[in-house]
A and B are shown apart, each in its own frame.
Chain A
Amino acid sequence: MTESTQEGRKIGGTLLEVKNITLSFGGVKALTDISFDIKEGEIRAIIGPNGAGKSSMLNVISGFYHPQQGEVWFRGQKRGPMRPYEVARQGIARTFQNIALFKGMSTLDNLMTGRITQMNANLFWQAIWKGPAEREEIAHRERVEHIIDFLGIQAIRKTPVGRLPYGLQKRVELGRALAAEAKLLLLDEPMAGMNLEEKEDMCRFILDVNDEFGTTIALIEHDMGVVMDLSDRVVVLDYGRKLADGTPAEVRSDPEVIKAYLGGAHA
Chain B
Amino acid sequence: MSPDLLNVLEVILNGLMAGIMYSLVALGFVLIYKASGIFNYAQGVMALFAALTLVGFQTGQVPFAHVINAAFGTKLDTWGPGLPTFLAIILTMGVMVLFAYLLERLVLRHMVNQAPIILFMTTIGLAYFMEGFGDLMWGADVKTMDVGLPSGGSTWLESVTAGWAAEGSNYRGMYIDVLDLWAAGVAIVLVISLTLFSQYTKTGRALRAVADDHQAALTVGISLRTIWIIVWSIAGFVALVAGIMWGAKSGVQFSLSLIALKALPVLILGGFTSIPGAIVGGLIIGVGEKLFEYFIGGMIGGATENWFAYVLALFFLMFRPQGLFGDRIIERV
Contacts and interface: CB of A to CB of B under 8 A. Distances in A.
Interface string B193-234: 000110011111110110111011111111110000010000
Contacts of A64: 218
B201 to A, nearest CB: 4
A181 to B, nearest CB: 12
A94 interface: yes
A137 B203 CA distance: 12
A217 B7 CA distance: 71
A51 interface: no
Contacts of A109: 205, 208
B329 to A, nearest CB: 15
Determine the interface band of chain B, counting residues with CB < 8 A from chain A: 20 to 34
A121 B219 CA distance: 21
Interface stretch (A24-32, A97-105, A150-158, A193-201): A97-105
Interface string A101-135: 11111000100111011010101001101000100
A85 B223 contact: yes
A126 B197 contact: yes
Determine the interface band of chain A, counting residues with CB < 8 A from chain B: 20 to 34
Interface in B263-311: none
Given A101-B213, A103-B213, A129-B200, A113 B219 contact: no
A88 B216 contact: no
A180 B218 CA distance: 13
Given A102-B209, A126-B197, A85 B218 contact: yes
A256 B222 CA distance: 42
A124 B240 CA distance: 19
B101 to A, nearest CB: 14
B212 A180 contact: no
A133 B204 CA distance: 12
Interface of A: 62, 64, 83-85, 88-89, 93-94, 96, 100-105, 109, 112-114, 116-117, 119, 121, 123, 126-127, 129, 133, 136-137, 176, 180
